[in-house]
Structure 1
Amino acid sequence: MGHLPATWCVPVVRADFRDDGVWERLTDEIVSPTREGFRAHVEFVEDRELSGLDGTAIAAGYPRAYPHRYRHPVVFVVDAVTVSLPEHPLLVVNLNESDETGPFRALPRQIQAIENNLSIANMDFFEFARAADPDGVFRGF
């Protein structure tokens, strides 16, 4: 595990395959522009090797190897928790080797803000993680 495909944009990895309808709705919501016209620059990939693993195991499977091994500082994961909870919070995994901040979850409509700001180094991963609600879900600032 820990293999990410070489993508031009930040990957959103599908790790739960029980509900194609939820996956389709999530992909649509993630790439829909914000009211201000901003878009998430992501690529959707499927990884059946992650199926059945919990968020802790998935996050641990991606070594912190950005910028040397990975092109992007973060990966978003649609796992069993994402699919099963009403808000569908994605797992947000830190790939940056110089930042020890652990994963958190984010609502689909927040993926754009996280991706855009991390990709241009406008904000750091820990700023989003620290802004997560007590339940560990980032719902915005």
Structure 2
Amino acid sequence: MPHPLPQGPDVTCPVIRTDFTDSVGWLRVIEALEAPVAVKDAYDGPGSGPNPENADHADWFTSAIDYVTPVNDVHYEGIAAADVTALAPAAHELGYGHLYLADAQTFASPGLPLLGIDIDPEQERVAAFRIPAHAVSAIETNEELGNMFFAEYREYEWQPGDLVVASRETAVWQAYRDLQ
């Protein structure tokens, strides 16, 4: 019998590691989830919008780690999308309506595309889809605010430049960490 999905008062939206052959890959995923990320607005002209070198812009950034729970448990090794949906029946009480899997494909790709799985019992579920790890911050923020539902991102095509990522060397990284 498969291990039950993560649940409990400290579990938000899980990011479940399913491949245990690449420890460095998992650390890269965690780093991506911890990074402050801002969405570049289509209306931002050159030189405008979120700037990771300007500490005053720290409040434009969010970190996915504020919304997700990394799960590094060997019990989930090899779990697939079909297993997840089978473990989350329509009337589940998990406290989250979707989750992410960090699998071999995630670790093998530069953008660390997590497998997003919709398990929302209130909506018609959409098929699993890939999401760049840095985009999780934008998805979870919009979900929290009610701007977009997780399933709506299935058709979204992330473009280079959609996201502004503040690396460890930037003023925003430091300012954002000071806000925590």
TM over 0.5: yes
Q: How does 1:90-109 map to 2 (within 5 A)?
A: 90-97=114-121, 98-109=123-134
1:112 to partner: Cα distance: 0.5
- 1-structure distance, mates of 2:32, 2:111: 12
Higher relative contact order structure (alpha carbons within 8 Å, sequence separation ≥ 6): 2
Distance 1:125 1:56, change over 3 A: same
Q: Which residue of 2 aligns with 1:122?
A: 147
Distance 1:124 1:72, change over 3 A: same
1:65 to partner: Cα distance: 4.3
Runs of 4 or more above 3 Å deviation: 55-62, 138-141
1:128 to partner: Cα distance: 0.3
Identity of aligned residues (%): 25
Name structure 2 gaps, 5 residues minimum: 39-59, 164-180
- 1-structure distance, mates of 2:110, 2:102: 13
Name structure 1 gaps, 5 residues minimum: 133-137
1:64 to partner: Cα distance: 4.8
TM-score by length of 1: 0.79
Q: Which residue of 2 aligns with 1:44?
A: 70
- Greater Rg by CA: 2
Which amino acid in structure 2 is aligned with residue 96 of structure 1? D
- 2-structure distance, mates of 1:49, 1:28: 23
Q: Does the 8 Å CA contact 1:91/1:105 hold for their aligned counterparts?
A: yes
RMSD: 2.4
Distance 1:85 1:47, change over 3 A: same
Output one character per residue of 1:103-133: Cα deviation in whole Å (capped at 9) or x when no partner: 111001101111122233321123100214x
How many correspondences in the alignment?
134
Distance 1:64 1:91, change over 3 A: farther
Q: Does the 8 Å CA contact 1:13/1:44 hold for their aligned counterparts?
A: yes
